[in-house]
Chain A
Amino acid sequence: MSSPVSSWLGAVRTASGGMLRHKVQVVAIGLVLLVSTASATLGLALLAASNTPFAHAFGAQNGSDVTVTVNSARAGPVALAATRGLGGVTAASGPFAESTVQTQFGGQPFGQLTLAGRASPGGPVDDVVLNAGHWPDGPGQVALDGSPGGGGPVLGSRLAVTGVPGAPALVVVGFGNSVTNTADGWVTPGEISRLQAPGVPPSAQMLYRFTHAASYAEVRADVAEVTGALPPHAVTGAASWLAAENQAAGNGAIMEPFVVAFALIGLAMAVLIVGNVVSGAVVAGYQRIGVLKSVGLTPAQVVLAYLSRVGWPALAGCLIGVVAGNVLAIPVLQNSAGAYGVGSQQVPLWASVAAPLGMLVLVGLAGFGPALRAGRLSAAEAIAAGRAPRAGHGYAAHRLAARLRLPRPVGLGLAAPFARPARTAVTLAAIAFGATAVIFAFGLNSSLSRAAASQTHSATVPVRVLQFGPGNGPGQTPGAAQDAAVPAALRDVPGTLHSVALYGNQVKVPGIAGNVDAQAFGGDAAWIGYGIIAGRWYDAPGEVDVNTAFLTQSGLAVGDTVTVDTSPLTQVTVRIVGEVFHPHNQPVLFGSTQTLPGLAAAANLQEYDVSLRPGVSTAGYVQAVNGALGQQNPWQATSQNGGGQFYSIASDLVGLLALMVAVAAGLGVLNTVLMTTRDKVHDLGVFKSLGMRPGQVLTMVVAWVAGPAVVAAAIAAPAAVALNTATVRAMAGTAHTGIPAAFTQVFPPSRLAVLSLAAVAIAVAGALLPATWAARSRPAVALHAE
């Protein structure tokens, strides 16, 4: 005789066993939960990653509060070691010998690198995370700060060091990440002496953690304490962790708004789809449960049977989904870690637990109501409830559709959703969410592209001439002849369309604490195309443009006049005629050298910006200019391309998130159409018996979702526009900048109309599979399927 428990479970097993006959619905439940859970896991991981990632990484890597650079000829190892015992110091690493060198990669200038000699990446302070390769363990090896690729060096690449005897080469053997950017690369300690330029005093770095280093004032006090403990003039520089945090915040926090937007869309849609799938599966099982109740199943067994009917595929979907979410998160987090400059990031354990648990709770809540109702129904009621939709719904729609001059299958399909208003509303919402995500993604990509183009000027300024050539070693500056060679080369080399010299220096502006970064152009610079947030680009002496930080910190507005102190002896009064897009915490001011006369000095000459005539090869032009300048000239032309790493990562993320949301929406549609197909299986048999051809069946079933898709498109288009505007503004807000109106005006009506077709695409893609099944089903089978 069986025990009560086994008989109880046996009954439940029998009741829930029906799900095996509905394999497609089982697969749909599993897939929706898989996508939803993966999306939720990724979303939570990204939220966690963008939520104070610097603080997490700083703690995990024992970031350096203060990196002090010393002249090691003045402060020897003993004196430096003594600073470990200073009152506020809680930990210290070093001294590490360092050298700042000029490098070339692939024959092109690669810039100035500060290399530190460290025997290992670890230590009590600044525990460098190795991202790829290995730590240098011999001469001629270097590990670079950052990640491989992206057009830069990869493992095995060779960097040529210029400006030091013998022009030694360094092979890249690893990539690491220092959360506080203590160096641009690391070599073995013995390597540093080989990288010292003649006549440059030896240098070393000490890395400290202090009891109090939460503010600039505390950091200044800490530096003063170290400086006081060392011989006079031994300290040559100090870098604070606050600067690194500012930089990380500029990269990371800016991602939060759109990650949050996608996470909310994904979550809302998961709730809808899961609720629809689960309650649909439950309702589909009414008839079977009714029959089983008639042979003795208790209400409690019915409830459990219902929940187990959807629970197993849901559980499987959640488990696979959390794995998929983790797998998807790996490259995304690697990229975002690179953008944050905070070392490696992982999906937090709580996200891997919370996402599937949350989804399972959602499944339970969605299924519990219908299950409870089924448990309370009498057997006869349960059987009746499993049949067709309530009579009367949608009749008027069918009557109207019959009067329209449309092919009959289309009319029948368009009227069908009115028979199940609640299910149609859920389908419509799912399509609308999916389409909103897709349109939003396209819009955000356009906005980010415009921001990238406006920030980097890569489209308008394909070539820059900068001072990083071989003659620009430490202590060396270009001579007057070398300076003069640049405009001559730009004038003589064919292909130059525009060129302008850019001078930069720090200036003082009343009302702004600290310095203002002044940028003065030695000619027309309007062609560079700075994004104008308000006002216009300057076009007369005495006019300047400023960035948002300038206006925020000064309290001034476009149209105001202000006195600029360009040097101790030169004060000019200028009028602010425009606010330009230049995302930066520091206030910046743009004008001509006529307006800011104190800046037009050789020492302030930063670069030449160059645009090319149409059809001119950038690489060929750069080569020609560098040939004209000569190998020993510190001024070297370089091409700039791409929109910056942040924009590239953001674009990938947006695409991935939109794809996941769209796939989930398509699955939601698939499930709804599948349920409707089941409801209407007998009607489909009748249609076929009356001569409806497979193509007409396909058309009719696809038309079931066409109406909701059109309404969803009408909802999604303005929703996506509003979401894009709000998100871009929020992103700009976190980057301390306003935005030109053009950044959000990325949806001309024609483009919006085309993008709105995403709703139709999602609906048709979701409906096509069940429509094909319906079209292929044998009429005799369909007629007898009821």
Chain B
Amino acid sequence: MQRQSVPGDVIRLDGVTKTYQADAPPALADLSLDVAAGEVVAVMGPSGSGKSTLLNLIAGLDRPTAGTVTVAGRRLDNLGESGLARFRARHVGIIFQFFNLLDDLTVADNVLLPAQLAGASRRTARARAAELLARMGIERNADDYPARLSGGQRQRVAIARALVNSPELLLADEPTGALDTATGQEIGRLLQQLNEAGQTMVLVTHDPALAERYAARTIRIVDGQLAGAGVPA
């Protein structure tokens, strides 16, 4: 049954199914989910449960086989590739487990890139990038290449890059998965600060502590289906 969209929802998934191969079980099966503006939702589940598939669908990196995906007020399942690319550039920031920084660009150029692709003016983009680098505490590394940075610094660069276009939604795929505990906690605190400033976030994580500490709500996915949802204690 089609549900009514609730004003203030940043994410709304209705009966979403994603199948990669016709004769294989679906990666996601008839999944429905709402995320309100300013909310932090942690997505947990074992490997292969469908967490990354869910993230890809919300980010507009992939399309559902069935169902509707509405993010920041836009139906993604019927957008073309160019429409999806515009959507990603303006409305979503993505943080990856392994940072996915471009090694041949400086830190500043990595951060600037989404703004440049979205057509922002040079001056505005540079000002925003400088502000974010300062906010992440890595302004001194602006001209460095990612290979010279520590894991924590790289993830800060990735967060700055994800925020450069001021997206409504920040998606983080195992943001602390490649970091040591102390650095992971630093990044966690950074994400918490962002949320306190009103940033809506979806965290995919294996780490119950991260979910418990920073997420307002945790959903569990097992075999492509919601296994439970709750508010961490």
Residues of A at the B interface (CB closer than 8 Å) are 388, 391, 394-395, 398-399, 402, 405, 408-409, 415, 419, 682-683, 685-696, 775-776, 778-780, 783
A690 touches B56 (CB 8 A): no
B117 touches A691 (CB 8 A): yes
7 closest A-B pairs (Cβ-Cβ)?
Answer: A691-B89, A408-B116, A693-B85, A780-B62, A780-B61, A691-B88, A690-B114
B168 at the interface (CB under 8 A from A): no
B149 at the interface (CB under 8 A from A): no
- B56-91 contact mask (Cβ, 8 Å, vs A): 1 or 0: 100101100000000000000000011001111110
- Taking the closest CB of chain B, its distance from the CB of A745, in whole angstroms, is 46
- Which residues does chain B contribute within 8 Å of A685, judged by CB atoms? 100
A765–B105 Cα gap in the complex (Å)?
28
A780–B50 Cα gap in the complex (Å)?
13
- Taking the closest CB of chain A, its distance from the CB of B164, in whole angstroms, is 9
A408–B120 Cα gap in the complex (Å)?
11
Given A398-B109, A402-B109, A783-B61, A693:B114 Cβ within 8 A: no
Question: What residue in chain A is nearest B88 (Cβ atoms)?
Answer: A691
- Taking the closest CB of chain A, its distance from the CB of B38, in whole angstroms, is 23
Residue with the highest number of chain A CB atoms closer than 10 Å, among B81, B94, B104, B109: B104
Task: Name A's interface SS.
Answer: helix
A398 touches B104 (CB 8 A): yes
- Taking the closest CB of chain B, its distance from the CB of A448, in whole angstroms, is 49
Choose one: A399, A408, A689; the contact of B59 (CB below 8 Å).
A689
Residue with the highest number of chain B CB atoms closer than 10 Å, among A683, A775, A776, A779: A779
Question: What residue in chain A is nearest B167 (Cβ atoms)?
Answer: A691
B94 touches A689 (CB 8 A): yes
Question: What residue in chain A is nearest B99 (Cβ atoms)?
Answer: A686
26 A–B contacts, CB within 8 A, in A order: A394-B104, A395-B104, A395-B145, A398-B105, A398-B109, A399-B106, A399-B109, A402-B105, A402-B109, A408-B113, A408-B116, A408-B117, A683-B102, A686-B102, A688-B85, A688-B88, A689-B100, A691-B86, A691-B88, A691-B90, A691-B118, A691-B165, A692-B85, A692-B89, A693-B89, A783-B61
- Taking the closest CB of chain B, its distance from the CB of A460, in whole angstroms, is 59
Question: What residue in chain B is nearest A691 (Cβ atoms)?
Answer: B89
Choose one: A419, A688, A696; the contact of B104 (CB below 8 Å).
A419
Q: A689-B61, A690-B94, A780-B61 are in contact. List 17 more A-B contacts (CB 8 A).
A: A391-B147, A395-B104, A398-B105, A399-B106, A402-B109, A408-B116, A408-B117, A688-B61, A688-B85, A689-B59, A691-B85, A691-B87, A691-B89, A694-B81, A696-B85, A778-B61, A783-B61
B180 at the interface (CB under 8 A from A): no
- B19-50 contact mask (Cβ, 8 Å, vs A): 1 or 0: 00000000000000000000000000000000
A408–B119 Cα gap in the complex (Å)?
9
- Taking the closest CB of chain B, its distance from the CB of A265, in whole angstroms, is 34
A691–B93 Cα gap in the complex (Å)?
10
- Which residues does chain B contribute within 8 Å of A690, judged by CB atoms? 88-89, 94, 113-114, 117, 161
Question: What residue in chain A is nearest B57 (Cβ atoms)?
Answer: A780
B196 at the interface (CB under 8 A from A): no
B118 touches A778 (CB 8 A): no
A776–B106 Cα gap in the complex (Å)?
27
Residue with the highest number of chain A CB atoms closer than 10 Å, among B62, B87, B116, B147: B116
- B147-191 contact mask (Cβ, 8 Å, vs A): 1 or 0: 100000000000001000100000000000000000000000000
Question: What residue in chain A is nearest B125 (Cβ atoms)?
Answer: A408
Given A419-B104, A689-B59, A689-B100, A776:B117 Cβ within 8 A: no
Residue with the highest number of chain B CB atoms closer than 10 Å, among A415, A688, A690: A690
- Which residues does chain B contribute within 8 Å of A415, judged by CB atoms? 104
Question: What residue in chain A is nearest B147 (Cβ atoms)?
Answer: A391
Question: What residue in chain B is nearest A777 (Cβ atoms)?
Answer: B81
Query: Within residues 112 to 128 of chain B, which ones have a CB less than 8 A from any CB in chain A?
Result: 112-114, 116-118, 122
- Which residues does chain A contribute within 8 Å of B117, judged by CB atoms? 408-409, 687, 690-693, 696
Q: How many residues of B contact A (CB 8 A)?
A: 31
B131 at the interface (CB under 8 A from A): no
A686 touches B100 (CB 8 A): yes
B103 at the interface (CB under 8 A from A): yes
A65–B66 Cα gap in the complex (Å)?
87
A691–B59 Cα gap in the complex (Å)?
10
Question: What residue in chain B is nearest A686 (Cβ atoms)?
Answer: B100
- Which residues does chain A contribute within 8 Å of B106, judged by CB atoms? 399, 402
- Which residues does chain A contribute within 8 Å of B102, judged by CB atoms? 683, 686
A776 touches B85 (CB 8 A): no
A395–B103 Cα gap in the complex (Å)?
8
Residue with the highest number of chain B CB atoms closer than 10 Å, among A394, A683, A775, A780: A780
Question: What residue in chain B is nearest A688 (Cβ atoms)?
Answer: B85
- Which residues does chain A contribute within 8 Å of B88, judged by CB atoms? 688-691
A689–B102 Cα gap in the complex (Å)?
12
- Which residues does chain B contribute within 8 Å of A694, judged by CB atoms? 81-82, 85
- Which residues does chain A contribute within 8 Å of B56, judged by CB atoms? 780
Question: What residue in chain B is nearest A775 (Cβ atoms)?
Answer: B81
Question: What residue in chain A is nearest B101 (Cβ atoms)?
Answer: A686
B62 touches A778 (CB 8 A): yes
A161–B87 Cα gap in the complex (Å)?
84
A693–B103 Cα gap in the complex (Å)?
21
- Which residues does chain B contribute within 8 Å of A391, judged by CB atoms? 103, 147
Residue with the highest number of chain B CB atoms closer than 10 Å, among A405, A694, A783: A783
A779–B112 Cα gap in the complex (Å)?
20
Question: What residue in chain A is nearest B143 (Cβ atoms)?
Answer: A399
Choose one: A388, A419, A776; the contact of B81 (CB below 8 Å).
A776
Question: What residue in chain B is nearest A696 (Cβ atoms)?
Answer: B117
Choose one: B61, B113, B118; the contact of A779 (CB below 8 Å).
B61
Question: What residue in chain A is nearest B103 (Cβ atoms)?
Answer: A391
A395–B147 Cα gap in the complex (Å)?
12
A399–B108 Cα gap in the complex (Å)?
10
- Taking the closest CB of chain A, its distance from the CB of B127, in whole angstroms, is 16
A693 touches B86 (CB 8 A): yes
A400–B202 Cα gap in the complex (Å)?
36
A683–B86 Cα gap in the complex (Å)?
18
A398–B110 Cα gap in the complex (Å)?
11
- Which residues does chain B contribute within 8 Å of A779, judged by CB atoms? 61-62
A685–B106 Cα gap in the complex (Å)?
19
A405–B105 Cα gap in the complex (Å)?
16
- Which residues does chain B contribute within 8 Å of A399, judged by CB atoms? 106, 109
- Taking the closest CB of chain B, its distance from the CB of A610, in whole angstroms, is 65
Question: What residue in chain B is nearest A398 (Cβ atoms)?
Answer: B104
- Taking the closest CB of chain A, its distance from the CB of B96, in whole angstroms, is 8
- Taking the closest CB of chain A, its distance from the CB of B145, in whole angstroms, is 6
A339–B132 Cα gap in the complex (Å)?
76
A775–B85 Cα gap in the complex (Å)?
11
Question: What residue in chain B is nearest A397 (Cβ atoms)?
Answer: B104
- Taking the closest CB of chain B, its distance from the CB of A57, in whole angstroms, is 62
B82 touches A693 (CB 8 A): yes
A391–B88 Cα gap in the complex (Å)?
29
- Taking the closest CB of chain A, its distance from the CB of B141, in whole angstroms, is 14
- Taking the closest CB of chain A, its distance from the CB of B88, in whole angstroms, is 4
Question: What residue in chain B is nearest A697 (Cβ atoms)?
Answer: B85
Question: What residue in chain B is nearest A411 (Cβ atoms)?
Answer: B116
- Which residues does chain A contribute within 8 Å of B147, judged by CB atoms? 391
- Taking the closest CB of chain A, its distance from the CB of B180, in whole angstroms, is 23
Given A419-B104, A780-B56, A695:B82 Cβ within 8 A: yes
Question: What residue in chain B is nearest A779 (Cβ atoms)?
Answer: B61
- Which residues does chain B contribute within 8 Å of A408, judged by CB atoms? 113, 116-117
A688–B81 Cα gap in the complex (Å)?
10
A695–B90 Cα gap in the complex (Å)?
17
- Taking the closest CB of chain B, its distance from the CB of A241, in whole angstroms, is 70
A683–B161 Cα gap in the complex (Å)?
15
- Taking the closest CB of chain A, its distance from the CB of B29, in whole angstroms, is 18
A780–B85 Cα gap in the complex (Å)?
12
- Taking the closest CB of chain B, its distance from the CB of A683, in whole angstroms, is 6
Question: What residue in chain A is nearest B83 (Cβ atoms)?
Answer: A693
- Taking the closest CB of chain B, its distance from the CB of A445, in whole angstroms, is 43
Question: What residue in chain B is nearest A416 (Cβ atoms)?
Answer: B104
Question: What residue in chain B is nearest A403 (Cβ atoms)?
Answer: B109
- Taking the closest CB of chain B, its distance from the CB of A727, in whole angstroms, is 43
